[in-house]
Amino acid sequence: MPELPEVEIARRNLVRWFKGHRVVESEADDTRVFRGARWKDFNALRGRLLSLERRGKYLLFTFEADRGLLAHLGMTGRFVRRPPGETVLYSRARFHLGSGEVIHFADARLLGRMEPCSASGLSELAPVKALGRDPLVDGLSPTELQEAVGDSRQALKVALMDQGRIAGLGNIHAAEALYRARLHPARAPGSLTPAEWKRLATAVHAALEFGLEEQRGEEPRYLKEGAHNGFLIYGRAGEACARCGTTVESLSQGGRTTHFCPACQPSHPDGKTRR
Ligand SMILES: [Zn+2]
């Protein structure tokens, strides 16, 4: 599932693809990625792309004439650029550029989301307003991280993945950040010391930067079974921790599996592991 780095790479690719080109025609199919939004309004997205912002896992497109589009990749959504006439499997919506190239939104499982709207109204849409701080767009200092997450009564990893608190962190990068910060995923956010908040803020940035490096390229690469796993802890249950050699364990939190090192990520601030 795409997380902040994948969506940020998609944004950078799209900015590059649209640059210097006008959209001469847009067309969408009537599928459930539009979720009750007026899918035919997609066809009104024309002319130049004036800006493309990312907030959390959402992309906010601003075209000429106050035309806007909110997009979310969901589980399997992706944008791809193709020469004219080339078909794309599961293409759901298309931007035809003046150059003849076509930018497709392809989505096999239709769990992505597209909402055409006025560009000036983008930031007022409910899913956008509900988002918390975006670590890359808004910055995230140790104090800001503590303010965003510290009062949560949920486990630390679950709180980090709450899009209303921190926008963009998902299962992979929350696990990576906690491993880097040497914090147990089930810690109570209220129990973190100032030094631990500092470590965690640094680790969130490091995990996202690493994710951006991993995902760089024209085509999105999501972690698949058997694929190269460049992550430090994610997907490594049963393997030896790269830092200390202890066997990496897994636990289930909020319906998601998380991986952690029981030695490097003790469940209490004093370093004593109670298991
Ligand atoms: Zn370890």
pLDDT digit string, tens, across residues 235-265: 999 999 999 999 999 999 988 999 999 999 9
Query: Active site includes 224?
Result: no
Q: Give distance in angstroms: CA of 233 to centre of ligand 1.
A: 9
**pLDDT recorded at residue 140:** 97
Of 12, 46, 256, 262, which residue is the catalytic one?
256
Q: What topology is assigned to 4-129 in CATH?
A: N-terminal domain of MutM-like DNA repair proteins (3.20.190)
Query: Active site includes 83?
Result: no
- Phi/psi zone of residue 53: left (φ > 0), alpha (ψ -120 to 50 degrees), beta? beta
Buried b (16+ CB within 10 A) or exposed e, 147-160: ebbbebebbbbbbb
- Supply the Cα-derived Rg of the chain in whole angstroms: 20
**pLDDT recorded at residue 215:** 74
Task: Tell me the pLDDT band of 224, cut-offs 50, 70 and 90.
Answer: very low
**pLDDT recorded at residue 132:** 97
Q: How large a percentage of the chain has pLDDT more than 70?
A: 93
Average pLDDT for 209-228: 66
Q: What is the CATH number of domain 142-260?
A: 1.10.8.50
Of 11, 54, 55, 57, which residue is the catalytic one?
57
Instruction: Tell me: pLDDT of 225 over 50.
Output: no
83: number of Cβ within 10 Å: 9
State how far the Cα of 69 lies from the Cα of 77, in Å rounded to an integer.
15
Query: Active site includes 67?
Result: no
Torsion sign across C-alpha atoms 174, 179, 185, 188: negative
Task: Give me the chain's average pLDDT, please.
Answer: 93
Q: pLDDT tens for residues 30-80? A: 999 999 888 999 999 999 999 999 999 999 999 999 999 999 999 999 999
**pLDDT recorded at residue 220:** 54
State how far the Cα of 264 lies from the Cα of 260, in Å rounded to an integer.
8
Domain boundaries, the chain: 4-129, 142-260
Q: Give distance in angstroms: CA of 245 to centre of ligand 1.
A: 6
Inter-CA distances, 178 with 59, 155, 172, 222, 246, Å: 26, 12, 10, 21, 16
> What is the DSSP secondary structure assignment for residue 57, as one 8-state letter?
T
**pLDDT recorded at residue 37:** 85
Task: Tell me the pLDDT band of 105, cut-offs 50, 70 and 90.
Answer: very high
**pLDDT recorded at residue 30:** 95
State how far the Cα of 122 lies from the Cα of 111, in Å rounded to an integer.
20
**pLDDT recorded at residue 226:** 44
Name the residues around ion ligand 1, CB cutoff 5 A: 241, 243-244, 246, 261, 263-264
Query: Mean pLDDT lowest for which of 30-34, 130-134, 212-216, 234-238?
Result: 212-216
State how far the Cα of 69 lies from the Cα of 117, in Å rounded to an integer.
6
How far, in whole angstroms, is CA 4 from its chain's centroid? 3
DSSP lists the bridge partners of residue 95 as 26, 103
Query: Active site includes 40?
Result: no
The better pLDDT of the pair 260, 216 is held by: 260
